[in-house]
Amino acid sequence: MKIEFLKLLNFRNYSKLNLSFHPSLNIIYGKNGSGKTNLVEGIYVLAVTRSFRLASEKTLISLHASLCKVEGNVYNRFKTNYQVFLSKDGKKVKINNNKVSRVSDYISKITVVLFHPDDLRFIKDTPSTRRKNLNISISLVTVEYLRYLNNYNKILKQRNAYLKQMFQHHNENSAYLNILTEKLVDYGIYLYQKRLEFVSAINEYIDTIYKEIAGVGKLEIRYLSDYDCKNKEEIFAMYQKNLEKDMMFGKTNVGIHTDDLKFLLDGKDLKEYGSEGQQKNAIISYKFSELEIFKEKTGTYPILILDDLFSELDQEKIENILSLLKCDYQTFITTTSLDHFKSLKEFSYKTIHIEQGSVVEESEHE
């Protein structure tokens, strides 16, 4: 999967941009604040229809503009044109100039693996952050996953509302609650199994990749879920056991919406005991593992985006990471300096110099 060109209109600090890319490696360089991250953010929005930043989607639209547009041609066995429109009123997407009624039908058409400095939150933050990242990754390779996740969240909301109603009105009739719980369990089992499969697949690669970057340490991910080692009857019984607590709090306290991941280095939790350097190397290893999983699941590599990858890494680690790159997939790297790329003698690539939201120089290197 490779993107041929990207067009941006009123996107962040780009009033208008039309840029073609190298099919293998693209190095986007410039000073901090010049628009490097905004450019790769545009590629991400084209794929996922939303930003990887925390800000509101409305902030993607340039000041004094009412609408922004992201467009690109992507090769995945054949060429397809994709368009994402964002306005104050919402979001619209098109494929080959045909409107797609549901955004969920658009997502997963373009697969992207992204590293961004904020990804350290994947380890440092709350379980909800890790679930969110896991959900995005699985949705990109399994179309049905997003539908099941949306259905689960819908039933969960209904169950929580009914729990509050039961508690407020001293309602002891649990027939309807049982129907909701059974649906929740059915959707939850599917999501649990897909998450378990994905994490297991990550663990087939992540330790080897981590050693190639850091040199030492055994890295693995552990998936924590209330559904672990339980059949359907045992899971339903778990909800029944927690009914009194659920009614008191007005929410469902167990289920796959409480799942978590742990990054373990030599058996120790990286969140608690790992240095920032170890955490960063672990996240990078996770991202490169995703590349291989996506290739297994879809038959093609995704697009790889490495944003501000080299900050706070020594040259040895940088060269170890660069040695992992393959010509088989398209990579975008943002950096403030080209000095890190002296070892890329056998790689053909393109450099793109950005200044204040404009491309000031493009150069091909064979």
DSSP states of 108-151 as a string? TSS-EEEE-GGGGHHHHS-HHHHHHHHHHHHHHH-HHHHHHHHH
Helices (H), 9-141: 36-48, 103-106, 121-124, 127-141
Note the pLDDT of residue 341: 83
**Which residue in 183, 206, 203 sits closest to 195, CA to CA?**
203
Domain 1-111+301-366 has CATH 3.40.50.300: yes
Cα 113 versus chain centre, distance: 7
Gyration radius (Cα) of the chain, Å = 22
Note the pLDDT of residue 259: 97
Per the CB < 8 A criterion, the answer to whether 350 and 320 are in contact is no
> CA-to-CA distance for 336 and 350, rounded, in angstroms?
15
Residue span(s) of the chain under CATH 1.20.1050.90 come to: 123-299
Tokens of 6: 């990207």
**Per-residue pLDDT in tens (0 to 9) along the chain, 366 residues:** 999 999 999 999 999 999 999 999 999 999 988 999 999 999 999 998 989 886 678 889 998 899 999 999 999 889 999 999 999 888 999 999 999 998 888 887 898 999 998 888 899 999 999 999 999 889 888 889 989 999 999 999 999 999 999 888 887 778 999 999 999 999 999 999 999 999 999 999 999 999 999 999 999 999 999 999 999 999 999 999 999 999 999 999 999 999 999 999 999 999 999 998 899 999 999 999 999 999 998 889 999 999 988 877 888 888 899 889 988 899 999 999 888 887 776 778 899 999 988 888 888 887
> CA-to-CA distance for 324 and 331, rounded, in angstroms?
11
Query: In 3-state terms, what secondary structure has residue 346?
Result: coil
Residue 201: what residue type? A
Residue 353: what residue type? H
Residue in the block written with tokens 């981590």: 210
> CA-to-CA distance for 83 and 99, rounded, in angstroms?
9
Residue in the block written with tokens 């089992």: 189
CA distances from 176 to 36, 82, 159, 292, 294 (A): 53, 43, 9, 44, 40
Residue span(s) of the chain under CATH 3.40.50.300 come to: 1-111+301-366
Neighbours of 3 (CB within 10 A): 24
> CA-to-CA distance for 299 and 44, rounded, in angstroms?
20
> CA-to-CA distance for 17 and 9, rounded, in angstroms?
7
- The pTM score is 0.89
Pairing label, strands 90-95, 331-335:
unpaired
CATH number of 123-299: 1.20.1050.90
Q: Name the region of 12 (left: φ>0; alpha: ψ -120 to 50; beta: rest).
A: left
CA distances from 197 to 187, 190, 231 (A): 16, 11, 17
Residues pairing with 304 in the sheet: 113, 331
